[in-house]
Amino acid sequence: MALNMTFRQLKVFESAARNLSYTRAAEELHLSQPGVSMQIKQLEEVVGLPLFEQIGKKMHLTVAGREVYAYSKSIGHLLDEAEVVLNELKGLQTGRLSISVATTAGHFATRLLAAFSQKYEDVTISLDITNRASLREQLEANRPDLVIMGQPPEGVEVESEAFMENPLVMIASPNHPLAFERELKLERFEREQFVVREKGSGTRGAIERFFKEQQVKFQTGIEMTSNEAIKQAVEAGLGLGIVSIHTLELELETKRLQVLDVNDFPIQRYWYVIQRKGKRLSPVAQTFKTFVLEQAREFIRVP
Ligand code: PGA
């Protein structure tokens, strides 16, 4: 004999049996009372036995009702469990991950994402490398899952966690007269021209704050929106530069640029992983965040 009962009937019956009341089952499942009694009547027809009996004013389960109740509870638990397991699988292995990072963080974010996607092959990742102003807008609109930047933005409610130091160092061409001098005083740079990032860059903001705090004049020369362009300009002798050490791996290895030994340097900053306050991260995004907090350092090579 095949029992052609539906999950729906079982679910309605489970609630009615637990509450011993059609009315309460209807409330619990947002159904009408006649809706509940119809589902249970159909179930009784499938089973071929009455499931409830009314004695006086009280509802009771029949012997058959008690049996069906026990099975309906187990089936309900199994379905809940299946849902959790399947969601986790879907979330972890086939989800989408949308990450936005500050220009400078782009130098290591690609390596980080590559390592992550090797581990979670079916995750589709989108990476946006952009400036601070745009990151702020994105956070405000709650678009990316997570943002990596040098300092939490002002005026947006976010949750941020620092995961690594981000030292800004002063660089020069190896032919610069100061290239190999020791313990240079900051005042020596008042008359030097610096090739700088655009206004709105986190690096630029941090440099200006630093010189202001030290009460030393800071002269900006050419402005550029990329660290690559700044390094090339400095190498070509267009001025000095101040950039995150995380952008310098190749140039220091090949000795195309020299880090100057300046007092009070490096300017110490931190990298943060940031999300809009109250955002509920998907399982993939949560896994990526943990990965950044625990393992990001391994993917950054500082010469
Ligand atoms: P950037 O630096 O904006 O200068 O690239 C990152 C940051 O400070 O947020």
Domains of the chain: 7-87 (1.10.10.10), 97-303 (3.40.190.290)
**What pLDDT, on the 0 to 100 scale, is given for residue 79?**
83
C-alpha 133 to ligand 1 mean position (Å) = 10
Q: Let me know how many helices (H) and strands (E) the chain has, helices first.
A: 10, 11
142: left (phi over 0), alpha (psi -120 to 50) or beta: left
**Which tokens sit at 162?**
């620092």
Find, among 36, 37, 66, 33, the residue nearest to 51 by Cα.
66
**What pLDDT, on the 0 to 100 scale, is given for residue 141?**
86
Q: For the chain, how far is it from start to end, CA to CA, in angstroms?
A: 74
Who lines ligand 1 at CB under 6 A? Answer: 102-105, 131-132, 149-151, 197, 201-203
Q: How far is CA 302 from CA 166, 182, 262, in A?
A: 10, 21, 19
Distance CA 98, CA 221 (A): 36
**Residues sharing a CB contact under 8 Å with residue 158, sequence separation 6 or more, in sequence order:** 139, 152, 274, 275, 276, 277
C-alpha 259 to ligand 1 mean position (Å) = 19
Among 100, 101, 104, 227, name the best residue to mutate to test ligand 1's pocket (greatest count of ligand atoms within 8 A of Cβ): 104
pLDDT in tens, 56-105: 889 999 999 999 999 998 898 888 777 767 766 665 656 789 999 999 99
C-alpha 203 to ligand 1 mean position (Å) = 5
pLDDT category at 120 given cuts 50, 70, 90 is: confident
Give the predicted TM-score (pTM) of the model: 0.69
**What pLDDT, on the 0 to 100 scale, is given for residue 206?**
95
Among 131, 132, 207, 208, name the best residue to mutate to test ligand 1's pocket (greatest count of ligand atoms within 8 A of Cβ): 132
Percent pLDDT > 90 in the chain is 70
3-state secondary structure of 269: strand
Angle at 168 between CA 167 and CA 172, to 5 degrees: 135
Asked if residue 234 has pLDDT above 70, the reply is yes
